[in-house]
A and B are shown apart, each in its own frame.
Chain A
Amino acid sequence: MKFVFAFMLAPTMAFADPRIDVALDTHILPRFAALTDATAALAAAESCEVEEEWNTAATAWIGVSHLRFGPTEIDNRAFALAFWPDPRGATPKSLAALLTDDAPAISDASVAGRGLYAMEFLLFDPAFANIEGRCDLIADIANDAHLTALAIQSDWEDRYDAVLRSTGNEIYRNDTEALQELYKALTTGLDFTSDMRLGRPLGTFDRPRPARAEMRRSGRSLDNVRVSLTSLEELALILAGEELMPDVEARFEKAIDQAGSVASVVGSADLSIVENVADRIKVEALQQRVVELRAFLSQDLGPELGVIEGFNSLDGD
């Protein structure tokens, strides 16, 4: 699902583009700081009944899950915090292996057994409810997740902030390239929400796949869609110029309203309603709103940032 862009030669700007500063100061840095705070609270908990702290940390992660460049991509940090999707079931297998180990070194373990998605199994899956060593492992994974979140945040503040803010370096030759990176994060995030968070449980009409929903055990599946759309809207509004802003906002609100309409269906939290024809239509409509939004951005916002998505460059193999 990762995709790409043909970068047109764009005019070099004489002055720093204010959108980069705004994106850093009001979107990227505060959201990664929130993730560090949430994982700190999770790690500091004195019991293993940390469902509430975990929930706050999961919300914080979903809000940055589209920012997959720079600090998150070093040492597999993002994977170590969030290993999903997992169609082969590597997470429960890794957890089972960690539970048989006396003093497992989480930071050396498979990424499938680390982070917030692994913790969700321990906290919410009945298969792990009374298993020996569960409490210790929850605490160990929480500590490891906090260290990972802290590493990402520090790397952003100490290094990558300057890389993105003061372009003309090896990574971003100019502000246009930095804006293109942010735009790519925005559209990749929308694709992930439509293809993975919604597309996986939807499956096909004849074969819905509710068991494939993200964080279904904790009932966060639908809320993750809403949280991601809210965060992506924040970034989109920063990138959109004054002219596009009302349109961008209206389209995001349409999608978020549809998520609200799905939420009004009883039992929608884990998206298992995709099996019920009448309710399924609402989830499909939500996915459709996200797809339309994505198409609108690539048609109207992308070109404005010098991003033309070509037939081969967009989707190669």
Chain B
Amino acid sequence: MATRRGFLAGMLASGFAPVPSWADAGSPAFLSAARKPDGDYILVGLDALGAERFRIPLPARGHAATAHPTRPEAVAFARRPGTFAMVMDCRNGDVLSRLDCPEGRHFYGHGIFDASGDLLFTTENDYDAGQGRIGLWDARNGYARIGEFASHGVGPHDVRLMPDGTLVVANGGIDTHPASGREKLNIPTMRPNLSYIDIDGQLIDHVEPDELLASIRHLTVRPDGLVGVGMQWQGELADAPSLTATHIRGQVLREIGRGAELAGYVGSIAFSGDGSQLAVTSPRAGVAQVFDSQTGSKIEQIRKEDVCGVAALNSGMLLTSGLGDVFDIGQTAQRIAAHDLSWDNHLVQVY
């Protein structure tokens, strides 16, 4: 219903008043969830030098955050099987909205805005059906739930926006149910896939890894549409296949590197700012690996204990670790900042 108040708010938002921007929140380059020494959890804004620009308390351990493309707003997701996410005003820490999953759904911990920032897409589990869903939320209207569609797989984890405005979803293939916490229920029959989905829910393309025990979890997208894929191996470590891959829609997955060197587990993945390199992290192996995006050859192996977050910076990339360190891959992985914090799984780039 168009109320007078709503109309005025619309006018304000459309440029008749100064619109808040990320500059008002200290122009962070990245967001990351973290644990403080006292055990409490926070969301932190970091600049390009790894210095803190703001911190906002979180009610529980977060997973990934998602940055609004223009407004200084971050969506912080509870870890799976969490049923809520909070939209924070990064200027002052105010909670702008709270997203509650509909009955029978829980979040997986990742979400992404469309290019305009009007819509938010979230990965969710329809847990009684054991089917993945993508939830739609209206960011113009207090993050109201406006719909959902199939993720075209089980256990969707990461979701990213493609350059053409469609979505790419990592369907991990692993069935869980909140009644059993994070226990994996279908390892013998799991079918992970990478799905390309139009924003009306139509499946455009999908591809499965050769080894069905390789759970597709995390994604990174280059401006030309090349997708980087990070996987987690559910079988015996000695049998681990490649757990890094790149993909171009309509083609087959191109596998890169050796999964055993990553302890069977990729925690995060990111293209470098210039797209020429692809980095993956494995906190279990205490290793980050950097590959040439074109040839797939390994350029560098970096040993850092509990390393997990990785994101593009300028032409290169930054890494974060559970020990509170920030490293610059471009500068021979030199430590550029140290914090009294445990950086959580993901370092998220602000637009």
Which residue numbers of A lie inside 8 Å of B, CB to CB? 1-2, 4-7, 69-70, 73-74, 76, 79, 85-88, 110-111, 170-171, 195-196, 199-200, 209, 212, 308, 310-313, 316-317
A interface: dominant SS:
loop
| Cβ contact of B157, chosen from A76, A85, A317, cutoff 8 A | A317
What are 19 A-B contacts defined by CB distance under 8 Å?
Answer: A2-B184, A69-B236, A70-B236, A87-B180, A88-B177, A196-B180, A209-B179, A212-B179, A308-B305, A310-B286, A310-B305, A310-B322, A312-B307, A312-B322, A313-B283, A313-B322, A317-B63, A317-B157, A317-B217
On whether the beta carbons of A200 and B180 are closer than 8 Å, the reply is yes
| Cβ contact of A1, chosen from B183, B285, B321, cutoff 8 A | B183
Which residue among A79, A195, A209, A310 has the maximum number of chain B CB atoms within 10 Å of its CB? A310
* Interface: B265 (CB within 8 A): yes
B321 to chain A minimum Cβ distance, whole angstroms, is 7
Which residue numbers of B lie inside 8 Å of A, CB to CB? 35, 63, 79-80, 109, 128, 130, 157, 177, 179-185, 187-189, 217, 235-238, 263, 265, 267, 283-286, 305-308, 321-323, 342-345
| Cβ contact of B284, chosen from A5, A171, A317, cutoff 8 A | A5
Give chain A residues whose Cβ lies under 8 Å from the Cβ of B182: 1
A182 to chain B minimum Cβ distance, whole angstroms, is 15
Q: How far is the CA of A229 from the CA of B187 in the complex (A)?
A: 26
Minimum-distance CB pairs A-B, first 5: A311-B322, A310-B306, A312-B283, A312-B308, A87-B177
Give chain A residues whose Cβ lies under 8 Å from the Cβ of B130: 88
Give chain A residues whose Cβ lies under 8 Å from the Cβ of B306: 6, 310-313
On whether the beta carbons of A311 and B179 are closer than 8 Å, the reply is no
Q: How far is the CA of A317 from the CA of B79 in the complex (A)?
A: 9
Give chain B residues whose Cβ lies under 8 Å from the Cβ of A111: 188
Give chain A residues whose Cβ lies under 8 Å from the Cβ of B179: 85, 87, 200, 209, 212
On whether the beta carbons of A6 and B286 are closer than 8 Å, the reply is yes
Q: How far is the CA of A93 from the CA of B180 in the complex (A)?
A: 19
Give chain B residues whose Cβ lies under 8 Å from the Cβ of A76: 187-188
Q: How far is the CA of A171 from the CA of B239 in the complex (A)?
A: 9
Indicate whether A195 sits within 8 Å of B188 (C-beta atoms), given known contacts A310-B322, A312-B322, A317-B63. no
Give chain A residues whose Cβ lies under 8 Å from the Cβ of B344: 311-312
Give chain B residues whose Cβ lies under 8 Å from the Cβ of A69: 236
Give chain B residues whose Cβ lies under 8 Å from the Cβ of A313: 283-284, 286, 306, 322
| Cβ contact of A88, chosen from B109, B185, B286, cutoff 8 A | B185
Q: How far is the CA of A294 from the CA of B199 in the complex (A)?
A: 46
Give chain B residues whose Cβ lies under 8 Å from the Cβ of A87: 177, 179-180, 185
Pair count A-B, CB < 8 A: 95
If A1-B181, A5-B284, A88-B130 are given as contacts, then 17 extra A-B residue pairs at C-beta distance below 8 Å, sorted by A number, are: A1-B183, A4-B284, A6-B286, A7-B263, A73-B236, A85-B180, A87-B179, A110-B189, A171-B237, A195-B183, A196-B183, A310-B306, A310-B323, A311-B35, A311-B306, A312-B306, A313-B283
On whether the beta carbons of A171 and B188 are closer than 8 Å, the reply is no
Give chain B residues whose Cβ lies under 8 Å from the Cβ of A312: 267, 283, 306-308, 321-322, 342-345
Q: How far is the CA of A209 from the CA of B184 in the complex (A)?
A: 20
B278 to chain A minimum Cβ distance, whole angstroms, is 19
On whether the beta carbons of B185 and A316 are closer than 8 Å, the reply is no
On whether the beta carbons of A4 and B180 are closer than 8 Å, the reply is no
Q: How far is the CA of A4 from the CA of B344 in the complex (A)?
A: 15
| Cβ contact of A4, chosen from B79, B157, B217, B263, cutoff 8 A | B263
B115 to chain A minimum Cβ distance, whole angstroms, is 26
On whether the beta carbons of A317 and B183 are closer than 8 Å, the reply is no
Q: How far is the CA of A79 from the CA of B234 in the complex (A)?
A: 14
A164 to chain B minimum Cβ distance, whole angstroms, is 13
A111 to chain B minimum Cβ distance, whole angstroms, is 5
Indicate whether A199 sits within 8 Å of B181 (C-beta atoms), given known contacts A312-B322, A317-B79. yes
Give chain B residues whose Cβ lies under 8 Å from the Cβ of A316: 265, 267, 283-284, 308, 345
Give chain A residues whose Cβ lies under 8 Å from the Cβ of B284: 4-6, 313, 316
Closest residue on chain A to residue B63 by CB atoms: A317
Which residue among B80, B128, B343, B345 has the maximum number of chain A CB atoms within 10 Å of its CB? B345
On whether the beta carbons of A195 and B238 are closer than 8 Å, the reply is no
Give chain A residues whose Cβ lies under 8 Å from the Cβ of B345: 312, 316-317
Q: How far is the CA of A5 from the CA of B305 in the complex (A)?
A: 11
Q: How far is the CA of A161 from the CA of B258 in the complex (A)?
A: 27
Give chain B residues whose Cβ lies under 8 Å from the Cβ of A74: 236
Q: How far is the CA of A199 from the CA of B35 in the complex (A)?
A: 25
Closest residue on chain A to residue B127 by CB atoms: A87
B285 to chain A minimum Cβ distance, whole angstroms, is 8
Give chain A residues whose Cβ lies under 8 Å from the Cβ of B79: 317
Give chain B residues whose Cβ lies under 8 Å from the Cβ of A7: 263, 285-286
On whether the beta carbons of A317 and B80 are closer than 8 Å, the reply is yes
Give chain A residues whose Cβ lies under 8 Å from the Cβ of B80: 317
Indicate whether A73 sits within 8 Å of B235 (C-beta atoms), given known contacts A1-B183, A85-B180. yes
Give chain A residues whose Cβ lies under 8 Å from the Cβ of B188: 76, 79, 111
On whether the beta carbons of B308 and A195 are closer than 8 Å, the reply is no
Give chain A residues whose Cβ lies under 8 Å from the Cβ of B63: 317
Closest residue on chain A to residue B237 by CB atoms: A171
Give chain B residues whose Cβ lies under 8 Å from the Cβ of A85: 179-180, 183, 185
Which residue among A87, A110, A170 has the maximum number of chain B CB atoms within 10 Å of its CB? A87
B36 to chain A minimum Cβ distance, whole angstroms, is 12
A212 to chain B minimum Cβ distance, whole angstroms, is 6
Closest residue on chain B to residue A310 by CB atoms: B306
Q: How far is the CA of A88 from the CA of B35 in the complex (A)?
A: 34
B212 to chain A minimum Cβ distance, whole angstroms, is 12
Q: How far is the CA of A69 from the CA of B235 in the complex (A)?
A: 9
Q: How far is the CA of A74 from the CA of B188 in the complex (A)?
A: 10
